[in-house]
């Protein structure tokens, strides 16, 4: 007997660069989905207001893979008088209300915009299961505004316990965070934050490592650590350069992939620390070619201080290299198995960062072994697990007897 197909409306502010899970949902025999977008890049709503000058969006141009292919989607016209993605009133999409009537349940990716509350209200009024999502792992905001913390401590449990029928989280870190706030465990469903594992693995396997290193000006026999993130304060790129200099491993190099307002400061620091000849700045690398950069390296370093999840961990491990990350990276809890797939250290502790970096860069064989274990771990952190988590949440509410 065939299982029933669940009609699911997914409401998102804008297209995302990783659509593997959406593409799998589109062909899954138990799902009939539609992704409702409240803005589109070509509509220029992504680049209005202060967002245009935000350092957080410096690398949007790097995502050169298809965002809108392989799954059903619809743009719901934005009626906001001031369209933007920085203010709650920047997205006002009343068409979501009528659309909700056509589906069995609704997934809303957040609660930051008027449009999201329209979808939330429509789902509740029509008595259809409502699932919210969050990747939060702590109450602090990267841009400050910590005066909101007491409000969040009261608001979030009420939202997830009383308004939502379920909460979809991308990591165990988010699950533990919500539980610490008092959100009921049975309401939380793990839907792993994933990338296109197959595409990334294929690109990595086809990489000409020697050529990539030659382009960087790095010897083929060197050991290479790679940093891949925006050059902004919360990513702590300076920590990577300082730790690399302290580690001082012979024939080692650090590749700093990215752009941002700290660019000049980072290059000056490399000069002052005497490692400018071994710290390379290749600039922005297109997302489709990023796996080549990982595959040409031996270790990812990721020292961020505010990173609710951290997709570079997925990407690097799929490419067969281990990771050295700060303990503020949300992906750490599920993917970084200490001594096997990588290591975590206390964020901001450059001494410990350098100690681990020295240990790892001095043992190439260990890096290779850990890289293979990292690849193995990613076999069960894929779009398949993401979709299974969603179906589990949906069936709990649409088929409660099961």
Side-chain-side CA neighbours of residue 132 (13 Å) = 26
Same domain for 166 and 109: yes
Q: Where are the beta strands (DSSP E) in 323-376?
A: 323-326, 342-345
Q: What is the pLDDT of residue 44?
A: 43
On whether both 227 and 165 belong to a single domain, the answer is no
Q: What's the pLDDT at 46?
A: 42
Q: What per-residue confidence (pLDDT) applies to 85?
A: 92
- Is residue 154 packed enough to be buried (19+ CB in 10 Å), middle (13-18) or exposed (0-12)? exposed
CB burial class (10 A; 0-12, 13-18, 19+) of residue 312?
Answer: buried
CA distances from 192 to 108, 335, 399 (A): 16, 11, 23
Q: What is the pTM for the complete model shown?
A: 0.93
Give yes or no: residues 133 and 229 share one domain. no
Whole-angstrom Cα distance, residue 180 to residue 163?
Answer: 18
Spatial CA neighbour of 282 closest among 296, 272, 293, 269: 293
123 in the same domain as 58 = yes
Provide DSSP, 32-65. Answer: EEEEEES--GGGTGGGSGGGGG-GGGTTGGG--S
List % helix, strand, coil for the chain (3-state, nearest 5): 45, 15, 40
Query: What is the separation, in whole angstroms, between the first and last Cα of the chain?
Result: 15
- Tokens 């009133």 found at: 89
Beta bridge partners, 36, equal 11, 74
Query: What crossing angle do the helices spanning 20-27 and 197-205 adopt, rounded to 10°?
Result: 120
Same domain, 225 and 343: yes
Whether 156 and 29 map to the same domain: the answer is yes
| 33 and 67 both lie in a single domain | yes
Q: For the chain of 402 residues, list the mean pLDDT of each consecutive stretch of 10.
A: 83 93 97 97 47 48 81 97 94 96 96 97 96 94 76 94 97 98 97 97 97 97 97 97 98 97 98 98 94 98 96 98 97 97 98 98 98 98 98 88 54
CATH code for position 166: 3.40.50.2000
Closest CA to 253 of 221, 285, 228, 284: 221
Q: Which residues contact 4 (CB under 8 A, 6 or more apart)?
A: 30, 399
Place of tokens 């198995």: 337
Dist. CA 99–CA 34, nearest whole Å:
10
In a domain, 1, yes or no: no
Spacing of C-alpha 284 from chain mean position? 18
Residues of the domain holding 103:
6-194+382-398
**Checking DSSP bridges between strand 188-190 and strand 223-228, what pairing results, if any?**
unpaired
Closest CA to 258 of 67, 99, 62, 64: 62
Distance CA 321, CA 341 (A): 8
Closest among 338, 339, 337, 335 to 172, alpha carbons compared = 335
103 close to 9: Cβ distance less than 8 angstroms = yes
Same domain, 372 and 386: no
Residues 247 and 166 in one domain: no
One domain, residues 223 and 253? yes
Residues 6+ apart with CB under 8 A from 147: none
Are 186 and 237 contained in the same domain?
no
Across 95-125, b (16+ Cβ under 10 Å) vs e yields bbbebbeebbbbbbbebebbbbebbbebbee
- Our CA angle for 312, 317, 318, nearest 5°, is 100
278 domain residue, yes or no = yes
Rg (CA), the chain: 22
- Our count of domains for the chain comes to 2
Per-residue confidence (pLDDT) for residue 270, from 0 to 100: 98
Same domain, 361 and 307: yes
């Amino acid at each position: 007997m065939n299982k029933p197909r669940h009609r699911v409306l997914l409401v998102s502010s804008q297209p995302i660069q990783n659509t593997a899970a959406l593409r799998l949902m589109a062909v899954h025999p138990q799902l009939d989905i539609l992704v409702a977008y409240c803005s589109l890049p070509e509509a220029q709503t992504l680049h209005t207001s202060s967002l245009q000058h935000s350092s957080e969006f410096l690398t949007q141009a790097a995502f050169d893979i298809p965002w809108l292919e392989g799954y059903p989607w619809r743009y719901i016209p934005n009626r906001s008088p001031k369209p933007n993605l920085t203010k709650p009133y920047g997205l006002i999409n009343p068409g979501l209300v009528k659309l909700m009537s056509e589906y069995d349940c609704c997934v809303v990716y957040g609660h930051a915009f008027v449009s999201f509350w329209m979808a939330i209200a429509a789902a509740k009024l029509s008595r259809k299961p409502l699932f919210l999502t969050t990747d939060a792992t702590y109450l602090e905001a990267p841009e400050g505004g910590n005066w909101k913390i007491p409000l969040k401590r009261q608001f979030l449990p009420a939202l997830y316990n009383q308004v939502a029928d379920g909460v979809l989280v991308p990591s165990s870190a988010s699950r533990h965070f919500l539980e610490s706030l008092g959100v009921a465990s049975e309401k939380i469903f793990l839907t792993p934050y994933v990338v296109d594992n197959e595409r990334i693995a294929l690109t990595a396997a086809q990489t000409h490592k020697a050529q990539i290193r030659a382009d960087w000006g790095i010897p083929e026999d060197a050991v290479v650590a790679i940093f891949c993130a925006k050059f902004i304060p919360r990513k702590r790129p300076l920590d990577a350069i300082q730790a690399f200099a302290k580690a001082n491993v012979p024939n080692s190099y650090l590749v700093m992939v990215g752009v941002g307002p700290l660019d000049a400061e980072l290059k000056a620091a490399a000069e002052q620390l005497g490692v400018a000849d071994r710290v390379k700045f290749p600039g922005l690398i297109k997302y489709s070619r990023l796996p080549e950069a990982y595959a040409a390296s031996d270790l990812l370093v990721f020292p961020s201080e505010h990173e609710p999840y951290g997709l570079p961990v997925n990407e690097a491990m799929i490419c067969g290299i281990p990771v050295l990350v700060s303990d503020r990276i949300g992906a750490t809890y599920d993917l970084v198995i200490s001594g096997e797939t990588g290591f975590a250290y206390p964020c901001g502790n450059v001494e410990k960062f350098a100690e681990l970096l020295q240990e790892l860069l001095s043992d190439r064989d260990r890096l290779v072994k850990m890289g293979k274990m990292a690849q193995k771990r990613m076999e069960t952190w894929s779009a398949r697990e993401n979709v299974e988590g969603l179906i589990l949440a949906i069936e709990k509410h649409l088929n409660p007897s099961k």
